[in-house]
Every structure is written in structure tokens, then in C-alpha cells.
């Protein structure tokens, strides 16, 4: 079962974490690099990735951070979450980043480094291309 919250298309490489992301204060607005030492994406940039993570957490102002990284060309190409939250949903909507919610099973199937294609208007919506 998939749900599309923000439509769009993207092709890119999966960057996956099992940890929720608090965009406000833990993702650098200019570079997209995760600055939270306790996060398993610490030191990695989310720029130009297909970011796969459980959900956003924390302040609703985090939506402004998502908008900000997009304005600075440091945003993911698309996001895929297990659970919908309004911070990520409205942040992606404003920044025009495709956002899909997927089932637990499908979430588990994504692997770091996989090449995938997201096209919310196509029949498959999300497909592995390599």
C-alpha cells in the first residue's frame, strides 16, 4: 500500500536510515549534511538522494528547514517514509519534493545504494532500476 503526499518524478540513489529525522537543527541548511552525532546519517549529505526514513519528528518549524535546503540546492530528490507527519508533508509540499508513504514491508525492502525511480503518475510509482 502506497500513499502519495507530494507528486513528482525523480531518479536517484537510496540513502536509508531506520532513525526518524528532526529537520530543525540537525540538518545543515546549506549543505544538507546531517549534524546530529547520535544519528546514523551523521556526516552524510542528504543532497540529491532518495531519502528513505521512518518519519519526521520535532517542531513544525522543521518544515521551514526542508524548504531551506531545497532553496540551497541541497535537498533530496524525493523522500519515502513509513509514517506521514505534517512537518515533512508540508515541508515537501512547499519545496516541491516528491513524498510517498509506503508499507512497513516495502520500507524494509529498500537498500542503501539501490538506484530507484519515483514517478507518482506512473502505474508502478516506485521502481528499482539497478
Partner 1 sequence: MELTREEESALKGEQGEIMQMAYRILVATGEATDAEKLIPIEWAHLSGVNYNTIGDAGEEFLSGISRDAKVKVKTTLNPMGFDIDNVSDYNLDANFISKQLSIRNSYEKIGVTPSFSCIPYEIFDIPKDGTQVAFAESNAAIHANSYDNLKTNKESAFSALASALTGKSPYSSLRKDDSSNITIRMKVDNPNELTYGMLGFFAGKVGDISVNISGLKKMDNRQCKAMCGGMGTSGTCAKFLFGEGGPDSEKVDFDEKEMQNVYGELNTAEKGDIITLGSPQLGLDEISDLTSKLKGRSFKKRCMIFTPRTVKDQAKKIGYVNELERAGCEILSDCCTCLTPLINKNDVDSVTTNSIKGAFYLKNSNGVDVNLKSLSQIIEDETR
C-alpha cell, 87: 512537518
Per the CB < 8 A criterion, the answer to whether 47 and 74 are in contact is yes
Active site residue 127: no
Of 9, 35, 60, 127, which lies in the binding site for partner 1, with binding defined by CB under 8 A?
Answer: 60
Per the CB < 8 A criterion, the answer to whether 55 and 82 are in contact is yes
Residues 6 or more apart whose CB falls under 8 angstroms from that of 58 comprise 22, 23, 24, 25, 87
Of 40, 61, 112, 127, which lies in the binding site for partner 1, with binding defined by CB under 8 A?
Answer: 61
Q: Which is nearer to partner 1, 13 or 22 (CB)?
A: 22
Of 21, 79, 80, 99, which lies in the binding site for partner 1, with binding defined by CB under 8 A?
Answer: 99
**Where along the sequence are the contacts to partner 1 (CB under 8 A)?**
3-6, 29, 59-61, 63-65, 67-68, 71, 84-87, 89-94, 96, 99, 101
Amino acid at each position: 500500500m502506497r500513499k502519495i503526499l507530494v507528486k513528482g518524478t525523480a531518479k536517484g540513489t537510496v540513502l536509508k536510515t531506520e532513525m526518524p529525522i528532526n529537520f530543525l537543527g540537525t540538518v545543515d541548511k546549506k549543505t544538507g549534511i546531517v549534524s546530529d552525532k547520535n544519528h546514523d546519517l551523521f556526516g552524510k549529505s542528504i543532497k540529491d538522494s532518495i531519502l528513505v526514513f521512518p518519519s519526521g519528528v520535532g517542531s513544525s518549524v522543521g518544515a521551514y528547514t526542508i524548504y531551506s535546503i531545497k532553496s540551497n540546492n541541497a535537498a533530496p530528490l524525493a523522500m519515502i517514509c513509513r509514517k506521514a507527519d505534517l512537518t515533512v508533508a508540508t515541508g515537501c509540499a512547499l519545496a516541491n519534493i516528491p513524498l510517498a508513504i509506503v508499507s512497513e514491508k516495502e520500507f524494509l525492502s529498500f537498500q542503501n545504494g539501490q538506484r530507484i525511480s519515483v514517478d507518482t503518475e506512473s502505474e508502478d510509482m516506485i521502481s528499482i532500476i539497478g
